[in-house]
Amino acid sequence: MKILTVVGARPQFIKAAVVSHELRKKHTEILVHTGQHFDHNMSGQFFEELNIPDPDYNLGISGGSHAEMTGKMMVEIEKVLLKEKPEWLLLYGDTNSTLAAALAAVKLHTPICHVEAGTRTHSKTNPEEINRICTDHVSTLLLASTQSGMDEMKKEGLSERGYLVGDPMYDAFIQYSGKKDVRELKMETLEGITVKVPDEFYYLTCHREENTEDDKCLREIFTAMDRLDAPVVYPVHPRNKQRAIRMRKERGFRNLILVEPVGYLESICLVNHAKKIVTDSGGLQREAFFAGKKCVTILDFVIWPETMVGKRNVLSAPKAEEILSKLAQGQKIDKNYNPFGDAQASKKIVEMLEEKI
């Protein structure tokens, strides 16, 4: 089979890493990188560390409005699809790259396989929600990571095309955990200094549009982090960099260690060793769950309901007091509860593509 995969953002590189290795054992994969994430520490580093084959096409499209980015991507992806004529288009998650590729392919009658299908936030303000819904509705094969994805697809009449395969993020977490020694980790601060990871620390990631539109949310989040009983490691997403540097100058927030984005192996090492996690990332919420770490998610919608069981992951508004009180709550872990599959999702994804060709 000839499969064309389109990726563009950090979480997609991680999923593609595990699936591509499986796919390329028997099939031909053409890899297209839209360029949505382009900084070395948001893109190239992942390809190197995770040994992802170099993209066959790099479209170099990033920035601009949602419509601008999606439109430009559609035009270029259509050209690649017409040239390569793949049997399947393989897509991950919910980014503008996912949506653009889906819309370009469906008009060319290229069958689409969507991994992470059925994920829903039911939020009107979450920009990725429309990408998920549209991609699912034009896809031929809908592969859900969890049962809640299957349930959501049922509500939308998509069950006939839906299959539960497990979460490739869990495959990656299992395959790559332990590849780095936390005592050896070195991170570069935004001030350009190389630092080691403290013995005890919290891990913060924050990058979503909802939390980065103005200073207010980040100021509340930083205020909470500043009051914690151990330093907080925060790899700052490029979207937040200037604001974080300015806020540090204005207010100090000395309990925060502001570092450049870290590689995936470093990130899951931080997850595995942190006291607790504070995040607005869909990936981090699941990784906290995989590692058994208490997680507070600064969003007003649930994206992975499975992680919320036993208060292992709780939502908080971007308000300092609420974040701190939610972080202080305990969690209940049931070791037999494993809703993200058996770390064989990548194999199952390839098997489904073979079966449904």
CA distance between the termini of the chain: 8
Q: Which is nearer to ligand UDP, 20 or 110 (CB)?
A: 20
Report the nearest approach of ligand UDP to the CB of residue 356 (Å): 26
C-alpha pair distances (Å), 81 with each of 4, 97, 197:
8, 14, 45
Report the nearest approach of ligand UDP to the CB of residue 150 (Å): 20
Contact 286, 304 (CB under 8 A): yes
Report the nearest approach of ligand UDP to the CB of residue 209 (Å): 11
Q: 264-273 and 282-291 helices cross at what angle (nearest 10)?
A: 50
For position 144 contacting ligand UDP by CB under 6 A, the verdict is no
At 269 the three-state DSSP class reads helix
Report the nearest approach of ligand UDP to the CB of residue 204 (Å): 10
Q: Cα dihedral sign for 72, 76, 77, 79?
A: positive
| Alpha-carbon gap, residue 217 to 280, rounded angstroms | 12
Which one is catalytic: 21, 37, 207, 273?
A: 207
237 catalytic, yes or no?
Answer: no
Question: Which one of 264, 289, 290, 304 is in contact with ligand UDP (CB under 6 A)?
Answer: 264
**Of 154, 152, 92, 146, nearest to 306 (Cα)?**
146
List the structure tokens of 347: 């194999």
For position 281 contacting ligand UDP by CB under 6 A, the verdict is yes
Question: Interface residues for ligand UDP in 227-256 (CB under 6 A)?
Answer: 235
| Alpha-carbon gap, residue 140 to 111, rounded angstroms | 6
Q: Which is nearer to ligand UDP, 71 or 263 (CB)?
A: 263
Q: Which stretch binds ligand UDP (CB under 6 A): 27-35, 69-77, 190-198, 259-267?
A: 259-267
For position 268 contacting ligand UDP by CB under 6 A, the verdict is yes
For position 73 contacting ligand UDP by CB under 6 A, the verdict is no
For position 117 contacting ligand UDP by CB under 6 A, the verdict is no
**Cα 87-18-238 angle, rounded to 5 deg:** 105
92 beta partners? 115
| Alpha-carbon gap, residue 298 to 317, rounded angstroms | 6
Q: Which is nearer to ligand UDP, 5 or 45 (CB)?
A: 45
Q: Which stretch binds ligand UDP (CB under 6 A): 15-23, 211-219, 257-265, 345-353?
A: 257-265
For position 267 contacting ligand UDP by CB under 6 A, the verdict is yes
Residue span 181-220 as binding mask against ligand UDP, x where in contact by CB under 6 A, dash where not = ------------------------x-x-------------
Q: Which is nearer to ligand UDP, 163 or 234 (CB)?
A: 234
Q: Which is nearer to ligand UDP, 29 or 94 (CB)?
A: 94
Alpha-carbon radius of gyration of the chain: 20
| Alpha-carbon gap, residue 55 to 232, rounded angstroms | 35
Report the nearest approach of ligand UDP to the CB of residue 292 (Å): 16
**Residue 250 burial (CB count, 10 A):** 10
**Of 117, 108, 116, nearest to 167 (Cα)?**
116
| Alpha-carbon gap, residue 37 to 23, rounded angstroms | 23
| Alpha-carbon gap, residue 292 to 297, rounded angstroms | 15
Q: Which is nearer to ligand UDP, 69 or 262 (CB)?
A: 262
Count CA atoms within 13 Å of residue 38 on its CB side.
10
Question: Which one of 162, 231, 283, 339 is in contact with ligand UDP (CB under 6 A)?
Answer: 283
For position 11 contacting ligand UDP by CB under 6 A, the verdict is yes
Report the nearest approach of ligand UDP to the CB of residue 158 (Å): 22
| Alpha-carbon gap, residue 23 to 98, rounded angstroms | 19
Report the nearest approach of ligand UDP to the CB of residue 283 (Å): 3
For position 102 contacting ligand UDP by CB under 6 A, the verdict is no
Q: Enumerate binding residues for ligand UDP (CB under 6 A).
A: 10-11, 14, 205, 207, 235, 261-264, 267-268, 281-284, 287
Q: Hey, which residues are catalytic here?
A: 207
